[in-house]
Structure 1
């Protein structure tokens, strides 16, 4: 079994996934808008270019998402997407990239279980935990 996060957005999914692709060094392998769907004629004109499904390949894991239909979006709550990174410099880079224009909930610093750990909500509203267990 493999669990892969599926993130929902309020119209900014494409911008978020282009940012995640650059931040994590992955590759977007699927990007489908609502106008490409068989049901496109039932989608409002202003929603045609919104994302119906996107998939970011991160090697051994996938990060997927879409824009919630109008009126259905609910801000994420009660979870964090957790990232484990062995290399301290890379963990630091990713934490600070995700934190830019976001809200740091717990600074990226040493903890009793990890060399560095931090929590944040990025500029797109996605909650993240970045963990680096190993020191330099």
Structure 2
């Protein structure tokens, strides 16, 4: 398997969330497609949906891409209070784990503070200010 790329649905704030994620991870967006970019006679897009994100991708490392879109209003709202799947970040060092944890958890709710775990790793868990759940971990025994 080359990679697993998480895809997140947002309620109209995908671009804001990804700008924040980019400020933590760095890099550049691979592409941004707005609903107006795919609008046409066969697929009319309402004016209030035109600038919403249909696709945004942010590369993370060599083979991973974090992807998202805004859910169009006609499809209903994403429940931001539900327990969505967590995004797991495997850091290369304790320092990187802390930097990512502290950056992404700013303004969010920490569920498990970053620190040494009973299973011998350095990890923390939180829900960011956009409602996305993350686990950041450094496993010093991993040699892959």
Q: So what's the TM-score if we normalise by structure 1?
A: 0.89
**Structure 2 unaligned residues grouped into runs of 5+:** none
Alpha-carbon distance in 2 for matches of 1:110, 1:52: 39
Residue 64 in 1 paired to residue 67 in 2?
A: yes
Aligned match for 1:117, one of 105, 113, 123: 123
Root-mean-square deviation (Å): 1.9
Contact in 2 for aligned 1:114/1:132 (Cα 8 Å): no
Which stretch of structure 1 is more off in the superposition, 71-80 or 126-135? Answer: 71-80
Q: So what's the TM-score if we normalise by structure 2?
A: 0.85
**How big is the shift at 1:77?**
2.0
The residue that corresponds to 1:19 in the other structure is 20
Alpha-carbon distance in 2 for matches of 1:129, 1:114: 15
Alpha-carbon distance in 2 for matches of 1:43, 1:115: 48
Question: Which 4+ residue blocks in structure 1 deviate beyond 4 angstroms?
Answer: none
**How big is the shift at 1:98?**
0.9
**Counterparts of 1:94-133 in structure 2 under 5 Å?**
94-133=100-139
Aligned match for 1:54, one of 51, 56, 70: 56
Contact in 2 for aligned 1:114/1:131 (Cα 8 Å): no
**How big is the shift at 1:133?**
1.4
